[in-house]
Amino acid sequence: MVRLPVIAIAALAAAGFLAGCGESGAEEGAKLTVYASAPLRGSEADIGKKFCAEAREAARRAGKPGDFELRVVCLDASGPGGRWTLAQVGVNARRATEDSATVAYLGEPERAARRQSQPIVEAAGIAALGGLSGRAAMAEVAKAIEEGDSGEPRRAVFDAVEG
């Protein structure tokens, strides 16, 4: 009998969490976050570090699209062996969904890894960009913010990328 109340509380908590994930209303001048996930250690570190460096440089060059400041947070997708792991990719994607300032997720350079992260971030209404250089992905994000609804940058990026 104790299980039913615990299950009900867990279901209500999950519903509340999911209800808050879909929208990202932002005031002019706010800082918006773009998460980039790539292996930053081991044999694939050079690719991952280049991907993140390109994304950061493109964000800097974009200035303030739509009067928003873009911040790139690079997450290491490497596991204990130095190569990306599905578990770490999932952790990175979930971290991006927990940040209310997230407007986009630059998925891992490896296609198999992106298949893990993409459904997680898209379920939260966050655009997943993959298969691009860090520079090209950030250019798409900045353009979507500039041309989209300034009150809903997360939705603007999602609609432009996933639309």
DSSP secondary structure string, the chain?
A: --HHHHHHHHHHHHHHHHHHHS-----TT-EEEEEEEE--SGGGHHHHHHHHHHHHHHHHHH--GGG-EEEEEEEE-B-TTSSB-HHHHHHHHHHHHT-TTEEEEE--SSHHHHHHHHHHHHHTT-EEE-SS-HHHHHHHHHHHHHHS-TT-HHHHHHHHHH-
- Fold category of 27-162 in CATH: Rossmann fold (3.40.50)
- Tell me: pLDDT of 161 over 60: yes
pLDDT digits (tens, 9 = 90+) for 114-158: 999 999 999 999 999 998 899 999 999 999 999 998 799 999 999
- Per the document, the length of the chain is 163
Read off the pTM: 0.81
CA distance 49 to 37: 10
For residue 24, the model assigns a pLDDT of 45
Out of 15-29, 44-58, 91-105, 125-139, least confident range: 15-29
